[in-house]
Chains A and B, each alone.
Chain A
Amino acid sequence: MFRRKKALKTEDTHIKQLADIVGPKEVLFHKEDLISYESDGFTIHSHMPKAVVFPKNTEEVAAVVKYCADHDLPFLARGAGTGLSGGAIPLNGEVIISLVKMKRLLHVDLENRQAVVEPGYVNLKLTHSISDKGYYYAPDPSSQYCCTIGGNVAENAGGAHCLKYGVTTNHILGLEVVTPAGDIIEIGREGIADVPGYDLLGLITGSEGTLGIVTKITVRILKNPEEKQTVLAYFDRVEDGSRAVSDIVSRGIVPAALEMMDKIAIEGVEAAAFPVGHPKDIEALLLIEVDGISAGIEEQIDDILDVCKKRNVRSVKVAQDEKERAKWWANRKTGFGAMGAISPDYLVQDGVIPRSTLPQVLQKINEVSQETGLRIANIFHAGDGNLHPLILFDARVPGETEKALEAGSKCLQACADAGGSITGEHGVGIEKREEMRFVFTDQEIQAQTDVREVFNPHYLLNAGKLFPSSGRCAEIKAEQKKAASE
């Protein structure tokens, strides 16, 4: 009853050819179906793709890529589309190659502590499927409930626990990559920590989908720590909180995670779906986790409590059980989405600064907020100096979007001025292309686009991302080449 049959009704030969590769059900091309793909987790930009295809295996990915390359169709790869810098937005009307149907866990090798996954496999699922054996996958971006490991590789994703364990690139042992020409290559070798030659693993990881499409990933898995303790500390002054962060690290403690939220952020998470009951009148909170072998954990906790007290903490407590700990983390990890509860739109920035400059930079961000009249919440990985100012705005108010972008740029300038960088883990994407100039000279940018040209000579794969686009010689060269081939 009510069953609807869907036939491929189109005159577009490209769509028909793509459907021949992946199957008619695995191609979207109607406007209504495509509009959900006009942006990812970064919503300030939106562009319609030409089509979305859902390959089921590496060969299909390679065939689609080859078809696009042969017919001069721009294309890009997309995972769960939770990226925060617009890396998966089809700026040039790309054919989107969605990898969400390649979502298998292919192999787990506990002996060598590694697992092989397809790119569409969801980050947290890996930990869930090996936790009963006492293992986990360390990189834990806040979107780990839904983001894919393929996307994590593209963005070199970080997360709360990367302070101690490193970001995605530190956990990648091997990749299978489809090159922009449609060839399938293997980089790194399973079970081998290092291979001779250039470190292509390092190059591809974090290349934001501009050098190739990853179709198989070998990751490192870790043994669960023997013990874990989590501390929640409330401060009346942001400065005290941020000084406590530096003090903890300079005492020689390497917490697994060291997170901070300010007053506006706390207002957001408390108004949203996973409140903890944080006091409304505190200026900052720290969420601190230490883990490792049981011996020594107690001393570390004592040290942390001591630092907090010296920095005038209002109150501080240790999680009594796993339930309380999970509650604190759910509150923290859903923090970005929670901003929806107090603002119609937000723009999240992702600067990195030397830990010791935290108080000044936070002060500077506060000034930006006052100058632009936009509220800015801060939820961030304080331990590794990775700031996330969340600029709250309402896109329906004329001019506010531009103001938010300007505020974001100013925050990044402040990070760069303090000796930091413009992205810690979200990538550059579309969002921070211009800001790349804050940290790189023209020559340095040129050196990088030259590398891209080796992999992506026709510049059909994810063009317009990662580097400032206008006036770049490499860019012009690519355009000339494209024009000549047409």
Chain B
Amino acid sequence: MSVKENVVQEPPCTNQSLSNYLWKEKPDENKWADCVHCGMCLESCPTYEVTGQEQHSPRGRVHLIKSVAEGKLEVNEQFMDPVFACLDCKACTTACPADVDVGGLIEEARGQVRQALPLTGWRKMVSSFFLKGIFPHPSRIQTAGQLLKVYQKSGVQSVVRKTGVLHVLPDHLKTMESVMPKIKQPVRKKYKHEEVIKAKDKTKQEVAFLTGCVMDVMFSDINEATVNVLTRNGNDVAIPKQQTCCGALHVHAGDRDMGRKLAKQNIEAFEHADTVITNAAGCGCMLAEYPELFREEDTEWRERAEDFAKKVVDVSKYLHDTGYEKPEAKLNTTLTYHDACHLAHGQGVRQEPRDVLLDIPGVKMVPMANADRCCGSAGIYNITNPDMAGDVLESKIENVPEEAEMISMGNPGCMLQMAMGVEKHGRNQQIVHTVQLLDWAYQKEDQERGRK
């Protein structure tokens, strides 16, 4: 029967000697063994929606990664394209009936690509400046933040905007500049002399807080709100000084060695904490995935990473699970909620932030269609793949209901991207973080009490 003849011609699958992955941490065969190519992931994938091309779909990428291991393809530029065009949004992980860890495979494949085709020239310069020179060093991030602050405050920003110097930037960076939030004092700097920020009333529990890089510089008011909300609800908050960047950007970019270095530092920094609170979905998800980085490492670090991962929780889920005071003041607003990918798909946190928001009196929530569809931010994807990110953003903004005055979410990257989307598409919604709203409600309550 002809069927059989064809089958015999196929090369024996995963014969290791055929594999074209030549470096350590090869993509994990067990991850693609779960994929039966059913295609249920297709419609969940933003890059497939935009391109309609299978190599830009989850199952297509899994097939590509598998084909390199089978020796049918090599690690080259053409392979790199679909592997790096993935947004890492993990929507496919939610859609997949067999729980295939597509995201994990992509990151492992990126590690191989980066070793096979190291960045060269100006790309290498830009990449190592940000990923190696800035992000792993909290003091340098703060300095960068200071520079931005000077840029905004000194009037240079308005001069620059007026003179049109910005025209030299590509469009997507121009829009980003225009929506950059006002830089304030980072929380880590503000509380640097305090070992633990005490709960407002009686202490129920002590938690440790990962402040994040972008969050603490660009959105320090959200970090401030997080500390306020936690301390108001009986939590002592520690901000361990040794903590560093979570490493998500590095791992997404294929630099797993740097990712591991940062992971080790964070695992040590939070060794004594029972609970590690994050308010940035991307960071929280990365922390919870540290064990993946030590898959091929010695067991000691793998175990420590596993213990650490169990302690990580998003602030909205933590509040929801441990209980919080329901605010009494009314915030009269209509809002819609955007599920950050790394919160909904990455950490399974969907209902908790919505419940927190709905507990605020006067908040009316209108649902957003495809609320858990990626906005295109995806770490620094909107900088590295602006065209794709722009297309993804456009379809996201189309789903923002007209009547919403605010869009609430739980990730700084999404906040910047959504702000860009609102600006670019002539909408007028305010972009807020979930804990920010809760904090505003508390503050208003305090003011009203004070007045009485």
Interface residues of A, Cβ cutoff 8 Å to B:
1-4, 28, 30-33, 35-37, 39-41, 43-46, 52, 54, 80-82, 98, 100-101, 103, 120, 122, 143, 145-147, 272-274, 334-341, 344-346, 395-396, 398, 401-402, 405, 430-431, 433-434, 469-470
A340: which of B64, B78, B94, B100 is its contact (CB, 8 Å)? Answer: B100
* Known contacts A32-B76, A402-B4, A405-B7; A82 and B52 CB within 8 A of each other: no
Task: Looking at the assembled complex, report how far the CB atom of A123 sits from the nearest CB atom of chain B, in whole angstroms.
Answer: 10
B310 CB → nearest A CB, Å: 21
| B36–A339 touching, CB < 8 Å | yes
The answer to whether B36 touches A345, judged by C-beta atoms less than 8 angstroms apart, is: yes
Interface string of B55-89 (1 = CB under 8 A from A): 10101100110010000110010110110000000
Q: Which residues of B contact A274 (CB under 8 A)?
A: 97
Chain A residues with Cβ below 8 Å from B40 are: 143, 145-146, 334, 337
Q: Are B78 and A30 in contact (CB under 8 A)?
A: yes
> What residue in chain B is nearest A334 (Cβ atoms)?
B97
Task: From the candidates A103, A146, A340, name the one contacting B98 in the complex (CB within 8 A).
Answer: A340
**Residues of the B chain whose Cβ atoms lie less than 8 Å from the Cβ of A396:** 12-14
Which positions 27-45 of chain B face chain A at CB distance < 8 Å? 33-43
Knowing A41-B38, A274-B97 are in contact, say whether A122-B55 is a contact too (CB < 8 A): no
Q: Is B447 an interface residue (CB 8 A)?
A: no
A32 touches B36 (CB 8 A): no
Interfacial chain B residues near A345, Cβ < 8 Å: 36
The distance from the CB of B389 to the nearest CB of chain A, in whole angstroms, is 11
A-B contact pairs, 20 of them (CB 8 A): A1-B384, A2-B123, A2-B383, A31-B78, A33-B82, A36-B59, A36-B63, A39-B37, A40-B39, A41-B38, A98-B52, A143-B39, A143-B40, A145-B43, A273-B94, A337-B36, A340-B33, A398-B12, A402-B7, A405-B7
Chain B residue numbers with a CB within 8 Å of A402 are: 4, 7
With contact pairs A45-B6, A272-B97 given, residues A33 and B55 touching in the complex (Cβ less than 8 Å) = yes
Contact residues in B for A335 (Cβ distance below 8 Å): 97
Question: What A residues does B94 contact at CB under 8 A?
Answer: 273
Interface string of B392-403 (1 = CB under 8 A from A): 000000000000
Q: Is the CB of A146 within 8 A of B55?
A: no
A103 to B42, CA, bound (A): 14
Known: A146-B42, A339-B98. A405 touches B3 (CB 8 A): yes
Contact between A82 and B97, CB atoms less than 8 A apart: no
Q: How far is the CB of A50 from chain B (nearest CB, A)?
A: 16
Are the C-beta atoms of A470 and B97 separated by less than 8 Å? no
- Chain B positions within 8 Å of A, measured between CB atoms, are 1-4, 6-7, 10, 12-14, 33-43, 52-55, 57, 59-60, 63-64, 67, 72-73, 76, 78-79, 81-82, 94-100, 123, 126, 170, 173, 383-387
Query: A36-B57, A45-B6, A346-B36 in contact; A395/B13 too (CB < 8 A)?
Result: yes
Q: Given A2-B385, A146-B43, A395-B13, A337–B2 Cβ distance below 8 Å?
A: no
Residues from chain B with Cβ under 8 Å of A340 in the complex: 33-36, 38, 97-98, 100
A336 contact set on B, CB distance < 8 A? 36, 38, 97
Q: How far is the CA of A270 from the CA of B54 in the complex (A)?
A: 29
- Hey, which chain A residues are within 8 Å of B64, CB to CB? 32, 35-36
4 closest pairs, A vs B, by CB? A340-B98, A337-B97, A334-B97, A36-B60
Complex-state Cα separation, A274 to B37, whole angstroms = 18
Q: Is the CB of B37 within 8 A of A35?
A: no
Complex Cα distance, B40 from A467, in Å, reads 29
On whether the beta carbons of A273 and B54 are closer than 8 Å, the reply is no
A37 B54 Cβ-Cβ under 8 A: yes
- Chain B residues near A46 (CB, 8 Å)? 10
A337 touches B52 (CB 8 A): no
Q: Is the CB of B7 within 8 A of A401?
A: yes
Shortest CB–CB separation between residue A37 and chain B, in angstroms?
6
- Chain A residues with Cβ under 8 A from B38's Cβ? 41, 82, 143, 336-337, 340
Name the CB-closest residue of B to A42.
B37
CB contacts (< 8 Å) of B59 on chain A: these are 36
